[in-house]
Amino acid sequence: MLERSPRHREIQMNFRSLAEKIFAREGAIMVETGWKTKNGKAAPTAPDFAFKRPPENELTVVEAKFLRSRRMEDGLFRNALEEIKRYRDSRKAKHAVLILTSEASDMQMQEAERQGISLWGIQQLVPMALKTPTLAEALADLLREVSYDGDHFLDTMQLLEANTTRSKARGEGAKLIAEFEQIKPGREGQRRFEQVGEKALRLLLAEQVQRWSVPVITEDGMSRPALVVRLMPRHDVWLQLASDFSSRYMTISFLNDGDSAGYAEIQTAARHLYPKANRSLGLVLARSGWEGAWRRGAIEQLRDHGKLLLTLGLQDLKDLLIARDCGDEYHDFFHERANDLMADNLV
C-alpha cells in the first residue's frame, strides 16, 4: 500500500476525526469507527465511521476524503464510490455519505446520485461546525492546508474563524508577555522560552503560516530548534516576501541566551535555509536582542546565498504582541526589517 508521510497521515486522520465529531454534535450515535485503523499500509476494511440517528435508527456509512486538488480525478472518484457502496452493502446500511474537500463536477454529482450516494462538500459541513467554536476552529485550520493559492476556501475560513474562540479572545498578547517575564535566561529556561515563543508567533502569524513542524536540534547540540512552517500568506507583506524569495517554507529559531546574539547565531540559523528547496526565509527570536555583527552576517547570507533572515529581540516581540492586542498593524515591522536589509548598500 501507499506509504504516507507522518504529516500526511495526521492531516487525513484529523479530517476524518473532525467529520465524525461534527456528525456526533448533530446527534448521531457512532456504531463503527474505522478511520483510526487506516494507515495506508493495508487495504481498509471499514468505513471511516458509521452511525445511527434516533428515532429512525437507520444506519449511515461515511467516507471522508481530504484532497489537495480543487478537482478529484474521475477515476479516483469512481473508485471512491465503489468503496463506499461496498461498505453500504456489506453492512446493509440505508444511507451512504461521501465527503470531499474538492469541488465535485456536474458529472460526478450525477454519478453519485445514480448510485444512491449523498455527495457532500465543505459547504455542507460548515453550518454544523459553526455551532461549536472548537469545531469551527479545527475545520478552518484543516482548510488552510488545502488553501494553496491564498484564495481557495478563503471566504469559508474567514466565516469559520469569526465564530471561534480564537477570534473572541482578548489580551492574548499581554498574557504571553507575562509568561515571558517568568522565564530565566540561559539553558535552564530554554525549553520554556521555545514553548512561549512558539505560542506568540502562532498568534502573530496565524493567518500567514501553517504546518508547524517538530523542532530540529542544531549541530552544536544546543536546544535551539528550527521550526519549519509552510507559508500560506494572506497579508500583502508576507505575500510579497514569499514571492520575492520564491519561498514556500520558513524556519523559526529561538535563542534564550543572556547575551546579545550576533554573527555566529546568524550563521547557525542560515544552515537550515535551502533556497533550492523553496526555503529561503528565516525568523530568529533572540531574548537579549542583537549586537552589531549580526547585520554583517545577515547581509552576507542575503548577498551570497539569497537567504533572508529576519531578526527579532524579545522586546520587539513584546511590541508586536501589544500592537496586536490594540488592533494595530504589526506586519509592517517585518516589511521594514526586510527592506532595510535588501536596501543596504553592502548587498
Same-domain status, 216 and 98: no
How far is Cα 245 from Cα 279, in angstroms, rounded to an integer?
Answer: 9
Name the domain count of the chain.
2
Strands 209-210 and 118-120, bridge-based pairing:
unpaired
Phi, psi of 272 (to 5 degrees): -90, 0
Are 25 and 131 spatial neighbours (Cβ–Cβ below 8 Å)?
yes
CATH at residue 21? 3.40.1350.10
How far is Cα 312 from Cα 188, in angstroms, rounded to an integer?
Answer: 21
Residue 146 pLDDT? 72
Helix and strand element counts for the chain (H, E) = 14, 10
CATH at residue 225? 3.40.91.30
Same-domain status, 110 and 35: yes
Same-domain status, 115 and 207: no
Same-domain status, 108 and 186: no
Residue 56 pLDDT? 87
| Cell representation of residue 44 | 481498509
Same-domain status, 232 and 298: yes
Side chain identity at 53, as an amino acid letter? R
Same-domain status, 215 and 302: yes
Q: By residue range, what is the domain housing residue 10?
A: 6-120
Residue 126 in any domain: the answer is: no
How far is Cα 295 from Cα 280, in angstroms, rounded to an integer?
Answer: 17
Side chain identity at 286, as an amino acid letter? A
Same-domain status, 104 and 181: no
Same-domain status, 181 and 298: yes
Q: Residues 67-81: pLDDT tens digits?
A: 888 889 999 999 999
How far is Cα 22 from Cα 210, in angstroms, rounded to an integer?
Answer: 23
Tell me: pLDDT of 64 over 50: yes
Q: Residues 299-347: pLDDT tens digits?
A: 999 999 999 999 999 999 999 999 998 888 999 999 999 999 998 756 4
Tell me: pLDDT of 2 over 50: no
How far is Cα 160 from Cα 173, in angstroms, rounded to an integer?
Answer: 22
Q: Residues 188-243: pLDDT tens digits?
A: 899 899 999 999 999 999 889 877 776 555 455 444 557 899 998 989 999 999 99
Residue 139 in any domain: the answer is: no
Q: CB atoms < 10 A from the CB of 188, how many?
A: 11
In the structure, what pLDDT confidence band is assigned to residue 3 with cuts at 50, 70 and 90?
very low
- Statement: the pTM of the whole predicted model exceeds 0.85: no
Q: Which of 102, 120, 138 finishes a domain? A: 120
Same-domain status, 325 and 177: yes
